[in-house]
Amino acid sequence: MTLYKRRDKFSRSSEWIGRVFGKFGLSPNQWTLLSLIPALGCAYFLINSQFLYAAVLLFISAFLDVIDGSVARVKGKTTKLGAYLDTMIDRYVEAIVIFGLMFSELPWFFISPYAWLIFYLFGGMMTTYAKAAAKEKGMVKNEMSGGLLERAERIGILTVGIFLAVYNRIYLSVIIAFLAIFTNLSAVQRIAIVVSSPKKLRK
């Protein structure tokens, strides 16, 4: 079960987060943009193989991504622009972290970790694009959600992997390989959903 299917269970926590951080006076879009700062810090520490600091900063970046949506809902400021900006910044955050990992000295896991990272980056982008393209081309009535691995799950798993690299870097290599495989399977899953959609939607 993906985090998407469990979101209703987090509604109370989300409301509490929105009320607390809404008092800081920042707009939801400003919270969204702030998530870039710890992501850049995460990349810096990854380049220097300081995995503990990198994991903490990636967690903070992910938490800021939760704050923006919570504040928007509590204050009634959910907008199409905000949703668009959130999606785009999410992609940048993930790409920035992967860029930092490219410069980390990681052990091979069957193949080069750099190959896994490229495969992971491609899979993550394709998972998102599969959804966007289906909506843009009118292949589905409603925007697709769910799948094997969504962005929140990917970041959560990657954060754990970076933390485990403090003890042994092979753990991070294995988790990157896992993400590389399952992000692409998620993209294929979404493509299959569109292909198998009712024919009247595919004319």
Q: What is the pLDDT of residue 67?
A: 81
Residue 60: Cβ-neighbour burial (10 angstroms; 0-12, 13-18, 19+):
middle
For residue 129, name the pLDDT band (cuts at 50, 70, 90).
Answer: confident
Question: What phi and psi values does residue 193 have, to the nearest 5 degrees?
Answer: -60, -40
In the chain, where are the structural domains located? Answer: 3-201
Q: What percent of the chain has pLDDT over 90?
A: 38
Is 61 within 8 Å of 118 (Cβ atoms)? no
> Is 60 exceeded by the pLDDT of residue 35?
yes
Q: What percent of the chain has pLDDT over 70?
A: 78
Q: What is the pLDDT of residue 4?
A: 44
Least confident range from 11-25, 52-66, 165-179: namely 11-25
| Mean per-residue pLDDT, 76-105 | 86
> Is 70 exceeded by the pLDDT of residue 151?
yes
> Is 60 exceeded by the pLDDT of residue 199?
no
Q: What is the pLDDT of residue 158?
A: 93
> Is 70 exceeded by the pLDDT of residue 139?
no
Question: For residue range 9-32, what is the model confidence (pLDDT) as tens digits?
Answer: 556 677 767 666 666 677 778 888
> Is 60 exceeded by the pLDDT of residue 39?
yes
CA end-to-end span of the chain:
32
Nearby residues of 114 by Cβ (< 8 Å), 6 or more positions away? 102
**What is the model's pTM?**
0.81
* Superfamily for domain range 3-201: CDP-alcohol phosphotransferase transmembrane (TM) domain (1.20.120.1760)
